[in-house]
Amino acid sequence: MKDLVALLLASVASIRAQAVIASNNYGVPYNGIGAIPAILAREAHFPMRRRVLMALLVRYFPDKYRESIYEAMTVVGLFLALLTMNSCYGMNAALLLAAFLPLTYRFDYWDWIPEVGAAIAATSGRIDLVYPWTIAAALSRETAPIIPIIWLCYVGDIKTCVYLSAVIAVVTLGVIQWQGTRPFLGGRIQAAGNGHQLAWWLENVGRTILMRSDQTSTNIITAACVIVCVNLGFPRALPWLCMLTAGWLWAVAVETRVFTICLIPVVLWLCGFT
């Protein structure tokens, strides 16, 4: 019981931190709760057009309760992810992950939670956990195909890797059938902009407030993950390096939640798991 209370309190504290940090963009139509009406109306742009799980969960609640239900479900989602970490690797790993998560907070998003749960399950080889989490991840992020790769690199089970890939493909096709297609919101390649941001940070970090720069979190996560990957070696380093590369090339790197699952190998390494 104490473990459950601790994980629940950690989840509430962590999501509360995200809500406060993201208070200036809470409700905008491009992410988080603000994107739900457009998703339900099938008018959202990519990538939110593929992130339908939360919309499916809150659609039947009255509008006046939707915000409360959204926040409660975000807490429950993180609680289940931390519970998965505790089940697979112990309480120390779960609480350390919760402690590191604020490094990734900038905007109001929920979609990183199923990806984290699925990645934890995939590293642990827990087949009973990886399938439900993978379905949730496929309904939440377009990066869900990384989960079978993590499974293959950590467990070495090709057959389950193929099955997980098939599950993701079926779920994704179902989402596309429901949502249709719309233009991508923003540029396809973000590498140049990310490079400029990094160059600015390197030039100005000596005369700016280090802790107030979003780039600082991105750099900390990247450096920590790379150090751990050097110790992991091939093939276990592969999925995390793929996520780092994809984040720096195709995402806006200062939106650090794109690197959230890269905290998992760092936590496992610090807790003595390889």
Q: What is the pLDDT along the chain (274 residues), one digit of tens a residue?
A: 899 999 999 999 999 999 999 999 998 988 999 999 999 999 988 888 899 999 999 998 888 899 999 999 999 999 999 999 999 999 999 999 999 999 999 999 999 999 999 999 999 999 999 999 999 999 999 999 999 999 999 999 999 999 999 999 999 999 999 998 776 666 678 889 999 999 999 888 877 778 888 899 999 999 999 999 999 999 999 999 999 999 999 999 999 999 999 999 999 999 999 7
Query: What are 40-45's contacts with CB under 8 Å, separation 24+?
Result: 42/178, 42/179, 42/180, 43/182, 44/179, 44/182, 45/182, 45/183, 45/184, 45/185
pLDDT at 204: 86
Model confidence, pTM: 0.94
pLDDT at 205: 81
pLDDT at 185: 61
Calculate the CA 51 to chain-centre distance: 12
pLDDT at 186: 61
* Cβ-Cβ contacts under 8 Å for 185 (sequence gap 6 or more): 30, 45, 46, 47, 48
- What are the structural domain ranges in the chain? 191-270
